[in-house]
Amino acid sequence: MSIVKTDNLTFEYIRRDEDENVSGITTAIDKVNIDIAPGQFIAILGHNGSGKSTLAKHINALLTPTEGTLFVDGMDTSDDKNLLKVRQTAGMVFQNPDNQIIGTVVDEEVAFGPENLGVPSEEIWQRVEKCLKDVNMYAFKDASPNKLSGGQKQRVAIAGVLAMKPKCIVLDEPTAMLDPMGRKEVIETLHELNKKENVTIILITHYMKEVVDADKIFVMDSGKVVMEGTPREIFSHVEELKALRLDVPQVTELAFELRKSGIRLPLGILSIDELVKALCQ
């Protein structure tokens, strides 16, 4: 079964004036059909306003469809009685770690989610220990979150979601506020969780470097999914991506330019190693 599946998912933000009359409608998601298998590492790309955050909020049932349906692990998110289970199945991590960290000590922060779910306290502390180890933050369990770097805070936020044993984690630009080191730590952590714990990862990001190792990429534009494929398939379309106001990884761009100037290279080169090999052949 799919972990996330949509059927013509459509969402409209409706603006109203002082008299409650509709003054404008923005179709943020427009008949989207996606199907994500459990255990996949998914990346979602798209320029500002393309609908990525709106889609993410649907997966966590923070928003429900105006039209169409979204299923999380087979549960219809529009059905109120699925709400808690949906939120536990698909955890969410936001851009700014400071807005999602509420505890004063790291381990209490991670315990917060399972406490709310009514998990017995002995099991809570087992989960806290495991999740902090999973994100390589166990050494900081007694630290105050506000003493941590941005990358460390984000990893604590991820541990807090993990402690609720989600099958899927949706991350909405989790590295946007981090330095390059912090970004690297977070992305490596996500790949590790994906491989070792088989947690489905849905990563929204602007950084092309962060998506080259994904299993699949969805590209959004104006509320629609306009491209879908492996990183190699997606990055073989440099010109289309540029038309969508998206970058491509630096090395992909370099290979693309070399190819245009007549050097024989395959499309969709994703790493320096690949480029070197291709050039030496």
Nearest CB to Mg ion, comparing residues 53 and 175? 53
Cα–Cα distance, 73 to 5 (Å, whole number) = 8
Q: Is 28 exposed, middle or buried (0-12, 13-18, 19+ CB in 10 A)?
A: buried
Q: What is the spatial distance between Cα 163 and Cα 270, in angstroms, rounded to a whole number?
A: 34
- Rounded-to-integer distance, Cα 257 and Cα 31, Å: 35
Measured CA to CA, the distance from residue 96 to residue 171 in angstroms comes to 11
Contact in structure between 51 and 222 (CB atoms under 8 Å): yes
Nearer to ligand ADP, 56 or 135 (CB): 56
Q: What does the per-residue mask of binding to Mg ion show for 52-71, with x meaning CB under 5 A? A: xx------------------
Given ligand ADP, Mg ion, none, residue 48, with its beta carbon under 5 to 8 Å by kind, binds: ligand ADP
Q: Are 60 and 87 in contact (CB under 8 A)?
A: yes
Size of the site for Mg ion (CB under 5 A): 2
Q: Answer left, alpha or beta for residue 45, where phi above 0 means left and psi between -120 and 50 means alpha.
A: beta
- Judged by CB under 5 A, the stretch of 36-44, 49-57, 60-68, 227-235 that binds Mg ion is 49-57
Among 6, 40, 50, 152, binds ligand ADP (CB under 6 A): 50
Run of H or E including 9: strand 4-16
Assess 46 for contact with ligand ADP (CB under 6 A).
Answer: yes
Binding piece for Mg ion, criterion CB under 5 A, among 44-52, 60-68, 99-107, 272-280: 44-52
Beta-bridged to residue 13, according to DSSP, are 26
Among 38, 39, 49, 103, binds ligand ADP (CB under 6 A): 49
DSSP, collapsed to helix, strand or coil, labels residue 179 as coil
260 binds, among ligand ADP, Mg ion, none (CB under 5 to 8 A by kind): none
Residues 54-73: x where in contact with ligand ADP by CB under 6 A, - otherwise, as a string: x-------------------
Closest-CA residue to 171 (of 191, 145, 147): 191
Give the number of residues in contact with ligand ADP, rule: CB under 6 A: 11
Compare residues 147 and 245 and give the one whose CB is closer to ligand ADP.
245
CB-nearer residue toward ligand ADP: 52 or 127 = 52
Assess 53 for contact with ligand ADP (CB under 6 A). Answer: yes
Amino acid at 177: M
User: How many angstroms from the chain centroid is the CA of residue 96?
Assistant: 14
Which residue ranges make up the site for ligand ADP (CB under 6 A)?
13, 26, 28, 46, 48-54
Which residue ranges make up the site for Mg ion (CB under 5 A)?
52-53
